[in-house]
């Protein structure tokens, strides 16, 4: 089997979208991917992201919120920004062989009560999973 594809997901706060993407690719891609996530800032995990992923049977509660500074000099096959703000803040990532942008809305910005806010996290979670299954998993199929 070829070496694992190194993938870095970037978002603004590394609290929800990038963390969910990392969790899905770790779970669904197993040893075919070496995956990490980071943010332009680190604000800690959003509990609603943890809860949404737990519904899928994926525990991201142990993930650490990290800044991209930690990864700037590491080589990656693919760097994917998952929010527009991160895409604008880091238009160039020197260590990436390829760069992609996947625009997902910020579920933490949705107003309303607990049910409406959680529904936003579930919708983004499902969109992230679909994109990973469609664009990344077939590339590294066994």
Closest Cα partner for 93 from 6, 8, 1, 3?
8
Q: What is the CATH number of the domain that holds 30?
A: 3.40.50.2300
- Judge whether 59 and 88 are in contact, CB under 8 Å: no
Closest Cα partner for 95 from 114, 124, 71?
71
The single residue of 28, 42, 90, 119 carrying the catalytic annotation is: 90
Hey, what are 31's tokens?
A: 């040893």
Evaluate whether residue 106 is within a structural domain.
yes
Q: Is 83 a catalytic residue?
A: yes
* Number of independent structural domains in the chain: 1
Query: pLDDT digits over 2-18, tens only?
Result: 689 999 999 989 999 99
Residue 73: domain span: 5-136
Query: pLDDT digits over 50-90, tens only?
Result: 999 999 999 999 999 999 888 988 999 999 999 877 666 66
- Judge whether 124 and 105 are in contact, CB under 8 Å: yes
How far apart CA 25 and CA 31 sit, in angstroms, is 10
Evaluate whether residue 142 is within a structural domain.
no
Evaluate whether residue 141 is within a structural domain.
no
Q: Is 142 a catalytic residue?
A: no
Evaluate whether residue 109 is within a structural domain.
yes
């Amino acid at each position: 089997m070829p070496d694992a594809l190194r993938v870095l997901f970037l978002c603004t706060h590394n609290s929800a979208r990038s963390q969910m993407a990392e969790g899905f690719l770790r779970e669904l891609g197993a040893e075919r991917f070496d995956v990490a996530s980071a943010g332009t800032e680190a604000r800690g995990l959003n509990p609603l992201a943890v809860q949404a992923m737990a519904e899928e049977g994926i525990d991201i509660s142990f993930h650490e919120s990290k800044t991209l500074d930690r990864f700037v000099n590491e080589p990656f096959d693919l760097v994917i920004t998952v929010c527009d703000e991160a895409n604008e803040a880091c238009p160039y990532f020197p260590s990436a062989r390829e760069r992609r942008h996947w625009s997902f809305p910020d579920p933490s910005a949705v107003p309303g009560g607990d049910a409406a806010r959680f529904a936003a996290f579930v919708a983004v979670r499902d969109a992230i999973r679909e994109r990973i299954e469609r664009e990344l998993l077939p590339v590294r199929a066994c």
